[in-house]
Amino acid sequence: DGGITQSPKYLFRKEGQNVTLSCEQNLNHDAMYWYRQDPGQGLRLIYYSQIVNDFQKGDIAEGYSVSREKKESFPLTVTSAQKNPTAFYLCASSTRASGRVDEQFFGPGTRLTVL
């Protein structure tokens, strides 16, 4: 079955520590996205990547970093520079065919709590 997997489902970290959230997809999608979700604020875009070895900042990229070394994988690192990292993080992917507008498929999410 094709889909997007995120791990772990729950993650706890101490203040000052970096942590990496995993996102893997086997949908053969070119584009991948990371969103942060806080109560009452909807989904806010952190980073997105349209192709391997290329990525762009979203609206709230400060304190985060990403890499896209493989088409299937788009890990997100939450660094100690992120002031308020406790949130629900969602990864998504979509096709990137010219002239088409396609739906984004979401992973199950990772809930990060900073202690």
Partner 1 sequence: QQPVQSPQAVILREGEDAVINCSSSKALYSVHWYRQKHGEAPVFLMILLKGGEQKGHDKISASFNEKKQQSSLYLTASQLSYSGTYFCGTRRPGSGNTGKLIFGQGTTLQVKP
Closer to partner 1 by Cβ: residue 50 or 65: 50
How many whole angstroms separate alpha carbon 80 and alpha carbon 101? 36
How many whole angstroms separate alpha carbon 9 and alpha carbon 17? 18
How many whole angstroms separate alpha carbon 65 and alpha carbon 74? 10
* Closest C-alpha to 78, from 46, 48, 40, 41: 46
Among 1, 16, 54, 101, binds partner 1 (CB under 8 A): 101
By CB under 8 A, is residue 13 in contact with partner 1?
no
Q: Which stretch binds partner 1 (CB under 8 A): 17-25, 53-61, 63-71, 79-87?
A: 53-61
By CB under 8 A, is residue 94 in contact with partner 1?
yes
Name the residue type at position 58. G
By CB under 8 A, is residue 48 in contact with partner 1?
yes
Closer to partner 1 by Cβ: residue 81 or 108: 108
By CB under 8 A, is residue 84 in contact with partner 1?
no
Helix, strand, coil tally for the chain in percent (to 5):
0, 50, 50
Residues that bind partner 1 (CB under 8 A): 31, 33, 35, 40-45, 48, 50, 56, 58-59, 88, 90, 94, 96-98, 101-109, 111
